[in-house]
Structure formats: C-alpha cells, structure tokens
Amino acid sequence: MEPFTFRNGELYAEGVAAAAIVEELGTPCYIYSRAMVESQWLAFDQAFGGREHLVCYAVKANSNLAILNVLARLGSGFDIVSGGELERVLRAGGEPSKVIYSGVGKTVREIGRALETGIHAFNVESEAELEQINQVAGGLNKIASVALRVNPDVDINTHPYVATGLKESKFGIPIDMAAGVAADARHLPNIRLVGLACHIGSQLTEMAPFIEALERVLELVDDLNDSGVDLAYLDLGGGLGIGYYDEQPPEPDEFVMALMEKLQTMGTRYRHLQIIIEPGRAIVGNAGALLTQVMYLKHNGSRNFAVIDAAMNDLMRPALYDAWHEIIPFAQHSQQEAYLYDIVGPVCESGDFLGRDRELAIAAGDYLAVLSAGAYGSSMSSNYNTRPRAAEVMVDGDRFHIIRRRETIDDLMSPESLLPESQVVK
Ligand code: LLP
C-alpha cells in the first residue's frame, strides 16, 4: 500500500493532510501509517499458511509503545535486544511467551528479568553467555530455553555497518563451532537447547543470501539431529530490505514463500520445526516519514543549502551510513525556482545533512517530508546539541494520534544535577 499520496497537489498520510499535523504539532515530527504497519506485518504472517511460525517484530527498528501495541494486538511476537525493550513490549501488551531475546551482551539483571517474565527463548551468541544464563536460571530455579545464534559466514551486499553474518563479525557463534557448543550445553542443567538462530544483516534486497544461510543452518540441524539433539524451532532473523531509492527487494510474502519453498525442497524432516522471523525495517520503514520545515535558503556561490529544522540527531542514517532518503515538499506545485540543494540541519557537524544535491523548488517556510523514515529514525535519535527529540504521530484513516509528545528542554536536563556549593575554608 501507499501511505503517502498527493490529493489536489497536497501531501496526505492516509486520509490526513500532512499540513494539518504540523499545524497542530509543529516540526520536526515523525508520522506513521497504522494501516501500512499492520498490512506489512500481516503480509509476513499470512504467507506462512498452515506452517507453525512466529513473526517477531524487531523492536529496535521503532520501539514507540503505540507501534508495539498495534502489533501486539495483531498477535505479533517481538525480538528484543535489551531489558529496556522487554519492558516496552510488556507495557505495550505484548506476550512474554512470544519474545525472543537476541544480542551479544545480555547482563545478569536482564537475563533474570527475562526468565521471570517467561520469554520464549534466548538467542545465545557465545559459550560464555550460555554459562551465564545457566547460572542465572539455576539461581531462580528455572530452565532457560535457548537457541544458538550461529554465524553462517554468508557474504551480503549491504553497508558494512549492518552486515552481521561474516566470520569476522562480533555476532553469533561460528557455524563450525556450534556443534561443540551444543554438546557442552547438554551438561548445563538449567539450559534447554530448543533452536538455532541466524541473522545475516540488514537492508538485504535479494533472496540468495537468505537461502544460502538457510541451507547452512539446515546442515547443522542434521548434524545436531544425528547427535541426538532434537530442535523445536529455527529463527531466520530479520534483514529484508525496503525501497529507499530504486531498490526492489522481495515483498514480505515473497520473502516468506521463498523460504518455505526452500524448506520443502530440502525434505520432510524439517516439517515439525517452528519458523521464526525477526523483521523490523520491512514492517515500519516505509510506513513512516519525518516532517520538517525549511528555515533558511543559502546560496554560497557553487552550492545551495536548505537549512531545515530536523537534523542528524533526529535521523542519523544519512550521517552514519550515507543513507539516501527521498525528500519531497508538502505541495506538489511551486512558483519557486528549482535548485540543487543540500538539505542540512542546525547541528554543528558537516555530517549533518539529510540529503544532498536534491532538486527542489522551495521557499523558506515550506514543509518537507523525509520518506522511508519509520525504521531506525526515531529509535536512533539523540539529544545532541541539546535538541529535544521530535514528536511522533500515528495516522489512522482520517484521524491522527500523538504517540510521543515533543520533549521539552526540562525533560532533557531533569536527570542532571549541579555539584554541591563549594565550602568556603576560613
Ligand atoms: N534480528 C536481529 C538479531 C538484528 O540484529 C536485527 C537488526 C533485526 C533482527 C532486524 O533487522 P531488519 O529486519 O530491521 O533489517 N541501524 C541500521 C540497521 C541496523 C540493524 C541491526 N540489526 C540502519 O538504520 O540501517
């Protein structure tokens, strides 16, 4: 579906004029389409047909409580990477029994809390972590269900910062060491090994690396089977990309069906395995936009700048990964002269740009929408330069709801304190 469209030359999000939202809330402001978030999740879920499965939304992509709640209402599971994300899922009404806990550095406290709430399983990334979980579970008199997150050493075509499946990456257990770790796990009394997991990277636009990873993981399932380990699930991670520019990744249903087809051709011995996936970006990425206002136009000889009121602290992806986001004006028709603009924010860094060399016919005061900003936008935002984080809005048909109010300067400073008055020594 297309959540952002033009009606009579004006930008709309579902049935709401973008102009009406900024009039009420000001800018910068994130907006999300509820219908798109839901339809993306459902597309993943329904493509599994009768196969036992769980779609665990990757909370890190966008952890706003309202987004989590909308997904929890559909029956979504959640992939978390911290105790904070676990509390968000619980507060949003997510079921702990559908939570998968990933990440290389789980603390003792986080492990304990996850065990208390009764999560589905931990995806374990090292032998040391396995022993730690065993110990914490022992102290609580519980058995921890775990999957080994293996690193299948698959090379993928994505930004190096978001590739995770290569041998040299910090993630996962090298696949050739996994059988040894599984054997050791048998001697840990408070561990039950129930699955294998892998996640090879993010913003992948082709099926081939996913299929390759699946083949390698299935070989390991066979090895483990031969040594008497009977697994209950396979977690194939997230990573399905979206169209930012001209990429044409598989749709969620095509992604799931390609995996299911591969599983089927590999034989009937995997039929009993529950399949878990952890998509983040593909669910929320194109459902969100960052709305911003042009404050000043600057023509410096050879370059033209549009200084906007959103910045790298609001959307870090262009600065961090040189990521490309489409930037469009709210109004389709303009009397202004078009220039090639660098779209820059007020932060004191040369890396503070949201787009470069964009042809736009704009004037100071105009509003712009930065598209494909629903994933890793607000969740990676910061207060750098003491900038309050943007407001967030969920559009639902012809209504909209504020799902995060704009931070105030007081919010930002409230955890801080001054030193005590200095004592005057006489
Ligand atoms: N599962 C695990 C274990 C992950 O590490 C990730 C993402 C996901 C699932 C979800 O991946 P997705 O379906 O969203 O691709 N900040 C970067 C992306 C970092 C992804 C980190 N891991 C960006 O803005 O492009």
CA of 123 to the centre of ligand 1 (A): 15
Identify which of 327, 396, 325, 367 has the alpha carbon closest to the alpha carbon of residue 10: 367
CA of 201 to the centre of ligand 1 (A): 7
Please tell me if the CB atom of residue 188 comes closer than 6 angstroms to any atom of ligand 1: no
Tell me the per-residue pLDDT of 303-357, one tens digit each, with 9 for 90 and over.
999 999 999 999 999 999 999 999 999 999 999 999 999 999 999 999 999 999 9
Please tell me if the CB atom of residue 309 comes closer than 6 angstroms to any atom of ligand 1: no
CA distance 197 to 150: 6
Residue type (1 letter), 155: D
- According to CATH, what is the number of the domain 4-31+285-413? 2.40.37.10
Map residue 79 onto helix, strand or coil.
Answer: strand
CA of 419 to the centre of ligand 1 (A): 40
CA of 318 to the centre of ligand 1 (A): 16
Q: How far is CA 340 from the centre of its chain?
A: 31
CA distance 284 to 288: 7
Please tell me if the CB atom of residue 278 comes closer than 6 angstroms to any atom of ligand 1: yes
Its pTM stands at: 0.96
| 32: exposed, middle or buried (Cβ count in 10 Å: 0-12, 13-18, 19+) | buried
Cα dihedral sign, 300-292-378-388: positive
Which atom of ligand 1 is found nearest the CA of 317? 24
Tell me the per-residue pLDDT of 236-271, one tens digit each, with 9 for 90 and over.
999 999 999 999 999 999 999 999 999 999 888 899
Q: What does each C-alpha distance from 70 to 46, 51, 416 come to in angstroms? A: 17, 24, 34
Q: Is the peptide bond before 28 cis (omega within 30 degrees of 0)?
A: yes
| 343: exposed, middle or buried (Cβ count in 10 Å: 0-12, 13-18, 19+) | buried
| Smallest CA separation from ligand 1 atom 22, residue | 202
Please tell me if the CB atom of residue 249 comes closer than 6 angstroms to any atom of ligand 1: no
Residues annotated as catalytic (active site), given as ranges: 348
Q: Is residue 395 a contact partner of residue 34, using CB atoms and an 8 Å limit? A: yes
CA of 187 to the centre of ligand 1 (A): 33
Please tell me if the CB atom of residue 162 comes closer than 6 angstroms to any atom of ligand 1: yes
Q: What does each C-alpha distance from 206 to 165, 245, 313 come to in angstroms? A: 15, 15, 31
Mutational test site, ligand 1, from 156, 200, 281, max ligand atoms within 8 Å of CB = 281
Q: Which residues contact 229 (CB under 8 A, 6 or more apart)?
A: 182, 186, 193
Identify which of 282, 192, 205, 295 has the alpha carbon closest to the alpha carbon of residue 247: 205
| CATH 3.20.20.10 intervals, the chain | 103-277
Could you report the average pLDDT of every consecutive run of 10 residues in the chain (426 residues)? 96 98 98 98 97 98 98 98 98 98 96 98 96 98 98 79 68 93 95 97 96 96 94 97 97 98 92 96 98 96 96 98 98 95 96 97 98 98 98 98 98 97 73
Q: Which residues contact 292 (CB under 8 A, 6 or more apart)?
A: 27, 28, 308, 309, 310, 314, 354, 367, 368, 369, 370
Instruction: Return the pLDDT at 170.
Output: 81
| CATH architecture of the domain with range 103-277 | Alpha-Beta Barrel (3.20)
Instruction: Return the pLDDT at 164.
Output: 67
Please tell me if the CB atom of residue 149 comes closer than 6 angstroms to any atom of ligand 1: no
Instruction: Return the pLDDT at 153.
Output: 86
Please tell me if the CB atom of residue 281 comes closer than 6 angstroms to any atom of ligand 1: yes
Which atom of ligand 1 is found nearest the CA of 159? 25
